[in-house]
Amino acid sequence: MHDQQLRDLMVQSANDAVNYAKEEFQLELDFSRASLLPLDTLVSALHQRQKKQAHAQDLLFTLCTILGAYTGEVFRRELGGEWFHDKSTQDAPYLCLTYLDKEFPFASVIYHKIMQDNSISVAGYVEQAMTNATQ
């Protein structure tokens, strides 16, 4: 996949996250840093659902991808960066946003919040990522 195709895919995925948040949670996401707080609320709700009944693997993959894309687009629109599809480990490829010489695996952060640690703050992670990226 070429860089522009990957960027277009991630932008569309981020827009899918906006639609999902509105339809499923009545939350408005506008690609601002402030919108990461309601995103945290949404992902916390997904964590609670996961505890009650496991999400299907394909749904979990989709949610992590679109919500990670949204999170990455908030970062990219503010600071810049490029989407990167890391295929170096064939059985565990992943998407991340690269900025300067740093990688930010936003979908992985979403996954860990849903599956393991609800105390993770997506907003806090992005704030720290932005701070680290600009030092």
Domains assigned to the chain: 3-133 (1.20.120.1090)
User: For residue 105, what pLDDT is reported?
Assistant: 93
Query: Is pTM, for the whole model, over 0.75?
Result: yes
Percent helix, percent strand, percent coil in the chain, to nearest 5: 65, 10, 25
Single-letter code of the amino acid located at 29: L
What pLDDT, in 10s, does the model give residues 67-113? 999 999 999 999 999 999 877 776 656 789 999 989 999 999 999 99
Q: Has residue 132 got a pLDDT over 80?
A: yes
User: For residue 79, what pLDDT is reported?
Assistant: 96
Q: What does residue 31 show for φ and ψ, rounded to 5 degrees? A: 70, 15
User: For residue 17, what pLDDT is reported?
Assistant: 98
User: For residue 3, what pLDDT is reported?
Assistant: 85
What pLDDT, in 10s, does the model give residues 37-79? 999 999 999 999 999 999 999 999 999 999 999 999 999 999 9
32: helix, strand or coil: coil
User: For residue 98, what pLDDT is reported?
Assistant: 93
Q: Can you list the pairs that 98-103 forms with residues at least 24 positions away whose Cβ atoms lie under 8 Å?
A: 99/75, 99/133, 100/133, 102/129, 102/132, 102/133
Across the strands, what pairs with 99? 102
User: For residue 1, what pLDDT is reported?
Assistant: 60
